[in-house]
Amino acid sequence: MKDKLSLLVQHAITSALTAGHLHSLEAIPPIVMDIPKISAHGDYSTNIAMTIAASQKKAPRDIAGIIIDHIEDSDRLLSKVEVAGAGFINFFIAQSKWYEVLKAVHDKDKAYGTSQLGLGKCVQIEFVSANPTGPLHVGHGRCAAVGETLSAIFKAAGYDVEKEYYVNDSGRQIRTLGESVFVRYQQLLGKTIDLPKDGYQGAYIKDLARMLLDQEGQRLMDLPEDEAVAVCARFAAEKILAEIREDLVAFGISFDNWFSEQSLYDSGAVQAVMIQCKDQANVYEHEGALWFRTKDFGDEKDRVVVRANGLTTYFASDIAYHKDKFERGFDRVLDIWGADHHGYIPRVAASIQALGYDADRFQVLLVQMVNLLRGGKPVTMSTRAGEFVTLREVIDEVGRDAARFLFLLRHYESPLDFDLELAKKESNENPVYYVQYVHARISNILRKAEERGYTNISWDEDFPELINLSAEIELIKLMARYPEILGQSALLMEPHRIPFYLKELAGAFHAYYHDRNKHKVVSDDARLSAARLYLVSAIRIIIRNGLALMGVSAPETM
């Protein structure tokens, strides 16, 4: 609807220009079509006359009048157009046109709301990518929910999406993991030995040591320490990664690709990119270490890629990794990181630029922290001491639906308070059920209707006479906004717009439903019942589609 109107206005301006009623413009600016806050200002409104007023040297209201005169509404979309306020053009959509929206919802069904905004462009989204040194925690859960839903939104907007998990299965942290497990392993065999000072202290390390002991017996004691640690590291990382995968499956998150950091070393990719950097003079030696000239590309200082002890930093493999991403030919490369990694962005962006790739195609979304609460009180967590609430525990306690919904209810850039008690509440304080309940309610209505013989819910030409209460038209207008909301959340990469919209639609439906004296869906009037069933089942389609994007179930009963 919005797009149609924008086109009308664009054509009107063009034709006004041709007719000489407007002074020539360098370019017609994009037509911004807003939905006014006040219904008296129309269904849609544009400020275009005001924005071009300066260059036209005419009063905005006069320009608006000229534009209106040139609008050719061949489809009879509009019932009224007016100039208002300082120069707004307000559009009132003919009521008959709203029924086409209603039909479109049914006709497109699962595809209602989808678009071709993405033009088939290929975007890679990398998210979660937690190191396999411990279980996923709630922060990862939020990143997972954002990444997964953003991927779904992109797909719905006509992008080709590939979801990837980068596994940091190499480097110092994995080594530390191995050392920690080996210490616990030795302790199980009665040795008095302390964890390294930067070791992992969580209870899961002891569990892993126990499993290793059961599987391998005492044979690690006969190996040189380096080898024993390596065995422990590999064993532990694999086990932890397997659990991460299980947790993600339980949370409804799936990846197209799991990319191993180690594979970049095994294939020689890291070494190759280092040589390339040397050839291109992007790196230099200083005090025994190899530094990358990230400062030349906007970072605040240069960064080490190979330490004086000969070991590469994670940055080195990250350079190779991002080079690999670009070589795979994605139009856009999107990383979703926890906000604590923000200082890392300039150097990765710098390295991409230094290697000659278009840095505009690379974007990082930073997802802010999750503050876990229980009944309003903070749940204390310390990763160092290994005391934290895992994603698995949250899913087990509050359920996947509530967790997914609440993680998405905030803009990802805002810190999120996640209250475990609230998430479990089956009341109006909890928005999850509010939305799901609409689906269950309509499903129930449809079941009752079926019992009474309404088995085929389809469009009939007399529906416009039957669906004409203002509450009903308002519902359809709200449904017309869904594709716009979906498109916006794709362009702005803002998944939170979906749950907000669903809450609004749910509220409008509940209000409509509740006034049952006026709006009883299934009544003695067969024609009216058929029409209203058509209306409410369209709402159900949108609720179901929206929840599906969020990875939240749409229950038939509650």
What does DSSP assign to residue 119? T
Spatial neighbors of 224 by CB under 8 A, at least 6 apart, are none
- CB closer to RNA out of 210 and 341: 341
Does 551 participate in binding RNA (rule CB under 7 A)? Answer: no
Q: Which of 173, 282, 351, 545 binds RNA (CB under 7 A)?
A: 173
* Under rule CB under 7 A, residue 557 binds RNA: yes
Is 165 a binding residue for RNA by CB under 7 A? The answer is no
Contacting residue, 239, 361, 477, 520, with RNA by CB under 7 A = 520
Q: CB-wise, 213 or 304, nearer to RNA?
A: 304
Of 448, 460, 468, 525, which one interacts with RNA (CB under 7 A)? Answer: 448
CB of 18 to RNA, least distance (A): 25
Q: DSSP characters for 182-206?
A: HHHHHHHTT---PPPTT----HHHH
Interface pattern 480-519 for RNA (x via CB under 7 A): --------x--xx-x-xx--x--x---x--xx-xxxxx-x
Cβ-based nearer residue to RNA, 133 or 390? 133
User: Interaction with RNA in 329-368: which residues (CB under 7 A)?
Assistant: 339-344, 366, 368
* In contact, 487 and 157? CB cutoff 8 Å: yes
Amino acid at 2: K
- List Cβ neighbours of 228 (8 Å cut-off, separation of 6 or more): 182, 220, 221
Is residue 122 within 8 A of residue 331, CB to CB? The reply is yes
CB of 60 to RNA, least distance (A): 7
User: Is 106 or 503 the residue whose CB approaches RNA more closely?
Assistant: 503
Give the tokens for residue 59.
Answer: 């009063």
Interface of this chain with RNA, residues 72 to 111, rule: CB under 7 A: 84-86, 88, 90
Tell me the closest approach of the beta carbon of residue 192 to RNA, in angstroms.
Answer: 28
Contacts with RNA, 21-60, as mask; x by CB under 7 A: -------------x-xxx-xxx--x-x--xx-xx------
Touching RNA, residues 408-437 (CB under 7 A): 409-411, 413-417, 426-429, 431, 433-434, 437
Name the minimum Å distance from CB 198 to RNA. 9
Is 234 in contact with 142 (CB distance < 8 Å)? no
d(C-alpha 470, C-alpha 286), whole Å: 74
- Report how far residue 267's alpha carbon sits from residue 174's, in angstroms, rounded to the nearest whole number: 19
The rounded Cα 379 to chain-centroid distance in angstroms is 26
Rule CB under 7 A: say whether 131 interacts with RNA: yes
Which CB atom, from 78 or from 220, has the smaller least distance to RNA?
78
What is the nearest approach in angstroms of RNA to the Cβ of residue 52? Answer: 9
Contact (Cβ atoms closer than 8 angstroms) between residue 473 and residue 508: no
* 382: DSSP letter: B
206 versus 347: smaller Cβ distance to RNA: 347
Tell which one of 145, 152, 248, 521 touches RNA (CB under 7 A).
521
The tokens describing 420, both together, are 């475990």
Distance in Å, CB of 288 to RNA, minimum: 5
- HEC profile of 258-321: EEEHHHHHHCCHHHHHHHHHHHCCCEEEECCEEEECHHHHCCCCCEEEECCCCCECHHHHHHHH
Interface characters, 204-243, with RNA (x: CB under 7 A): ----------------------------------------
Q: Does 522 bind RNA (CB under 7 A)?
A: yes
For the CB of residue 227, give the shortest distance to RNA in the complex, in Å.
22
Residue 470 sits in the site that holds RNA (CB under 7 A):
no
- Taking the CA atoms of 420, 424, 428 and 433 in sequence, report the sign of the dihedral they define: positive
Q: Which H, E and C letters describe 48-94, residue by residue?
A: HHHHCHHHHCCCHHHHHHHHHHCCCCCCCCEEEEEEECCCEEEEEEC
For the bound state, the minimum distance from the C-beta of residue 315 to RNA, rounded and expressed in Å, comes to 6
E strand or H helix at 345, and its extent?
Answer: helix 345-354
Residues 257-286 close enough to bind RNA by CB under 7 A: 286
